[in-house]
A and B are shown apart, each in its own frame.
Chain A
Amino acid sequence: MDRIPILKFGNALLVTIQVDMHDRLATALEEDLTSRIVSNNARGVLIDISALEVVDSFIGRMLDNIAAVSRILDADTVVVGMRPAVAITLVELGLSLTGVKTALNVERGMAMIHDRLARSEADDADDED
């Protein structure tokens, strides 16, 4: 079965969805990402959906689930590159992805993950004082 590739990028994982995913592929990605967060000790997950022309409720729910599971595993998920027409459609569909952090592009998304990491490391340093 096809799989969406997951790349390691420092302490973050990077996924670029470039195909029109059928539901089983989306479910497989959710499972693969979850195990990779743990095996790679990842602190952030960046999902680039700029190639996706459609995000329906199934893919929306997958993004929501990945964000929720990664939060429990102490990793931040940022979804980047959503097309304007997709954003308009998602809201009208009734899916506002409230649990998902978003950024306009990969660069800003990566900056969000690094900001959060820097903050949590600063907190740890404070605790040691």
Chain B
Amino acid sequence: MPTTKIERLGVRISDDVVRVRQLTRTFAVEVGLGLVDQTKVVTAASELARNTLDYGGGGDVTVELVEQGGRRGVRLTFEDKGPGIADIEQALKDGFTSGKGMGLGLGGAKRLCNEFSIISEPGLGTKVTIARWK
């Protein structure tokens, strides 16, 4: 899957979550997503960036403009070196939370995107990748 544009952002403080939203919006507009799809992917990015900050202890986000078979999309990768998630299936369930949230972040982000994958190892960190296609 060729990447035509890429940008990276650190997520260390809560202002960075706002920056992730703004950068995702810029990419989503460039891909040509409609307003509803833009809103969905930006909201998913916000949830995941907050997870990176609150549960992963901070990390990095990579935003990419990707192309595949004539389709364009925006892909985001959230990486942290936090405590990791022991039971991913449980973490994806609505209402599950280990912290102060509502437990909608991970499952909600998955519903708002076309592609979702998560790799996590306890003690090593978590990597979540999402994509939304036009």
Contacts and interface: CB of A to CB of B under 8 A. Distances in A.
Do A and B come together as binding partners?
yes
Interface residues of B, number: 26
Contacts of B39: 53-54, 83, 85-86, 88-89
A61 B46 CA distance: 14
A93 B17 contact: no
Contacts of B115: none
B18 A20 contact: yes
Contacts of B21: 20, 54
A57 B18 contact: no
A21 B18 CA distance: 7
A68 B39 CA distance: 27
Interface of B: 14-15, 17-18, 21-22, 25, 35-36, 38-40, 42-43, 46-47, 50, 94, 101-102, 104-105, 107-108, 111-112
Given A20-B22, A85-B35, A95-B102, A53 B108 contact: no
Contacts of A8: none
What secondary structure prevails in chain A residues at the interface with B?
helix
Interface of A: 20-24, 53-58, 60-61, 83-86, 88-89, 92-95
Given A23-B14, A61-B101, 14 more contacts: A20-B21, A22-B17, A53-B25, A53-B39, A54-B42, A54-B43, A56-B50, A61-B102, A85-B35, A85-B38, A89-B36, A92-B40, A93-B47, A94-B104
A92 B111 contact: yes
